[in-house]
Amino acid sequence: MDTLLLMLVCGGGYLIAYHTYGRFLAEKIFKIDKNAPVPSVELQAGIDYVPTRKAIIFGHHYTSIAGTGPIVGPAIGIIWGWLPAVIWVLFGCIFMGAVHDFGALVVSIRNQGKSISEITAKYINTRVRFIFFAIVFLTLLIVIAIFGVVIATVFTRFPSAVIAVWLQIPIAVALGFAVYKKGINIPVATAIAVAGMYLCIGLGSWRPIELGSVFGIPPTGLWVIILLIYAWVASTLPVTTLLQPRDYINAWQLFIAMGLLVSGTVAASLAGKLPLVAPAVNTSLPANTPPIWPFMFVIIACGAISGFHSLVASGTTSKQIAKEEPDSLFVGYGSMLLEGVLAVLVIICVGAGIGMALKTADGSILTGQAAWQHQYSSWIGAKGLSDKIAPVVIGAANMMGTLGVPEAVGVTLMGVFIASFAGTTLDTTVRLQRYVISELAADLKIPFLTNRWAATSFAVLAAAALAFATGADGKGAMKLWPLFGAANQLLAALALLVVTLYLKRKGGWKFIVTAVPCLIMLAITNSAMVKNEMIFLADKNWLLVTIGAVIFALALWMTVEALIAFLAPRRS
Q: Is 365 helix (H, G, I), strand (E, B) or coil?
A: strand
pLDDT tens digits, the chain, 572 residues: what are they? 589 999 999 999 999 999 999 999 999 999 999 999 999 998 887 788 899 888 889 988 898 888 777 888 899 999 999 999 999 999 999 999 999 999 999 999 999 898 888 888 888 877 788 888 888 888 888 888 888 887 888 788 778 778 888 888 899 899 888 888 888 888 888 889 889 888 887 787 778 888 888 888 888 899 899 999 999 998 888 888 888 888 888 888 888 888 999 999 999 998 888 999 999 999 888 988 999 999 999 999 988 999 999 999 998 899 999 999 899 999 999 999 999 999 999 999 999 999 998 888 787 888 889 999 988 988 887 676 677 888 888 898 899 888 888 877 777 777 777 777 777 788 888 988 998 898 888 878 888 888 889 999 999 999 999 889 888 888 888 788 788 888 888 889 989 999 998 999 888 889 999 999 999 999 999 899 899 899 889 888 888 889 888 888 888 888 888 888 777 766 54
What does the pLDDT read at residue 266?
Answer: 93
Question: What is the Cα–Cα distance from 510 to 331, expressed in whole angstroms?
Answer: 21
Amino acid in position 160: S
User: Could you give the CA distance from residue 541 to residue 154 in angstroms, rounded to a whole number?
Assistant: 28
d(CA 507, CA 496): 17
CATH domain 3-335+342-357+365-382+396-567 topology:
Amino acid/polyamine transporter I (1.20.1740)
pLDDT of residue 569: 67
Q: Beta strands 358-359 and 365-366: pairing type?
A: antiparallel
Pairwise CA distance, residues 181 & 406, whole Å: 40
pLDDT of residue 26: 95
Instruction: Report whether 57 contacts 327 (CB < 8 A).
Output: yes
Residue 76 phi/psi, 5-degree rounding, is -85, -45
Q: How far apart are CA 368 and CA 546, in angstroms?
A: 45
